[in-house]
Structure 1
């Protein structure tokens, strides 16, 4: 089953209010409104694309060790996925798909990391729950996400919805701002050029990891 098939199956159960979700239609309506508004804003058009130079960054892994993109790129191509947080089931399904594809990604010559605004404790939880063999780096205030053109601020009505669902982003992220990265996945070549970019303001849509493999193999030559 492809990643999108898994996402669609989860979405169908969630929107149907099947246990254990039991989500009222008003919540679904608000989520659809927020996604439609983000798409209409054109924010995704401002994100970095294939052919652009990738920003360099150094962020801490869940154990507090700094990880430098420049150092990793000296060893080969780098796959970077932007992860909203441990609270997002769609993001967790994507991480699981990347983990399942990790042998193929490594065989193609690349390393994988995820970037999230959440604090280290939540990243450690994500790594455990999704059985990951790659790190989730902490991006305070979504600053690296902003450098890639991905950061956006939640509208007040969406903040209220998140609060009602106990998704307290300031607590998850250790940051008072209500910002998130648009889901995105990049392949960066050793010369810092982005050779694959997938950005979607609809967080329920994610490409299958296999789609990156040709770009990784070409970048690794």
Structure 2
């Protein structure tokens, strides 16, 4: 009986270790979806904690889909602010803006109020979408406590590479900008130019 328990314990440990090692080790090692591929139809949480179906949301209009690290990241906050400043022009071009992070709905609300954001923020605390899109990587160990706190304990292991996708109404990627160096983000000018080119 002891041998069976030991074997089972080792099996569980190896499964957990294997699952953790599936994430790329660094931001430079990710394998994101490519232009022409479709964002998976998953359900994320809104600021209010409501379920938001992605396919239904994308089908309403073309989408600027942004992945950011969290409200604790000053570079992300600068990017979210710049998006807010360009939102009027992007809306006039027929786009909606959706920003996704591992933050819990409660912490999304803090970001929303602090940065006076008008567009949609969604929570992917378990990383289901971030991993499916191929932009999740293993967070350094010194991030674990902060990630756990910002996700209400649901994430201790992954970070998203800062990414911007432009999608059509079918959720298909028409443009992407992926920046493994989190200190550098797409400029507002480039984003608007890309959005105009896809009109």
Alignment TM class, shorter chain as reference: 0.7 to 0.9
Does the 8 A contact of 2:55 with 2:170 survive in 1?
Answer: no
Alignment partner, residue 99 of structure 1: 84
1:81 partner SS: strand
2:127 partner SS: helix
RMSD: 1.9
Alignment partner, residue 151 of structure 2: 173
- Structure 1 residues 203, 132: closer, same or farther in 2, change over 3 A? same
What stretches of structure 1 of length at least 5 have no aligned partner?
1-36
Take 1:208 and 1:103, find their aligned partners in 2: how far apart are those partners? 16
Structure 1 residue 178, shift from structure 2 partner: 2.1
Take 2:121 and 2:59, find their aligned partners in 1: how far apart are those partners? 20
Q: Could you tell me which of 183, 206, 210 is aligned with 2:162?
A: 183
Q: After TM superposition, which residue ranges in structure 1, 4 or more long, deviate above 6 angstroms?
A: none
Alignment partner, residue 55 of structure 1: 40
Does the 8 A contact of 1:101 with 1:210 survive in 2?
Answer: no
1:212 aligns with 2:191: yes
TM-score (ref. length: structure 2): 0.80
Does the 8 A contact of 1:109 with 1:217 survive in 2?
Answer: no
Q: Could you tell me which of 23, 26, 33 is aligned with 1:38?
A: 26
Take 1:123 and 1:94, find their aligned partners in 2: how far apart are those partners? 15
The number of aligned residues is 174
Write out per-residue CA displacement over residues 60-83 of structure 1, whole angstroms, 9 at most, x where no aligned residue. Answer: 111112222222222221111112
Write out per-residue CA displacement over residues 75-111 of structure 1, whole angstroms, 9 at most, x where no aligned residue. Answer: 2211111121111000000000000000011001010
Does the 8 A contact of 2:45 with 2:122 survive in 1?
Answer: yes
1:129 aligns with 2:114: yes
Write out per-residue CA displacement over residues 108-167 of structure 1, whole angstroms, 9 at most, x where no aligned residue. Answer: 101001111111111000001111001211102211000110111123xxx23x47xxx6
What stretches of structure 2 of length at least 5 have no aligned partner?
1-24
- Structure 1 residues 112, 172: closer, same or farther in 2, change over 3 A? same
2:126 partner SS: helix
Alignment partner, residue 193 of structure 1: 172
Structure 1 residue 57, shift from structure 2 partner: 2.4
